[in-house]
Amino acid sequence: KQKTSIFTEEGTEKLENLLRDAGLLKGESLYDVENVAIVHHVNNALKAHRLFQKDKDYIVRNGEIVIIDEFTGRMMPGRRY
């Protein structure tokens, strides 16, 4: 089961405006090649805030995120989404 998310057109516009105001947006569009790292980070942030639940999908141990296997319920240190 894949957990995915995308920004709406309105969300993309708001994000572009925020990044532009902060001087972080290169080029005209969020999806210009110069912004590929930003797109990666904001997509992961969106998923983290909207699709995953603390103490169900992950825990925080010693200041680090530890993923919980959805089938076994076991912690998976070092695993990444």
| Interval 9-44: pLDDT, tens | 999 999 999 999 999 999 999 999 999 999 999 998
SS3 content of the chain, % helix, strand, coil (to 5): 40, 15, 45
Helix and strand counts by DSSP (H, E) for the chain: 2, 3
Indicate whether 38 and 5 sit together in one domain. yes
Indicate whether 11 and 41 sit together in one domain. yes
More confident residue, 3 or 57: 57
Indicate whether 64 and 80 sit together in one domain. yes
Indicate whether 7 and 41 sit together in one domain. yes
Confidence bin at 79 (pLDDT 50/70/90): confident
Q: What is the pLDDT of residue 1?
A: 61
Indicate whether 4 and 40 sit together in one domain. yes
Average pLDDT estimate for 51-57: 92
Indicate whether 33 and 57 sit together in one domain. no
Q: How many domains does the chain have?
A: 2
Q: 39 is in which domain, residue-wise?
A: 1-50
Average pLDDT, the chain: 91
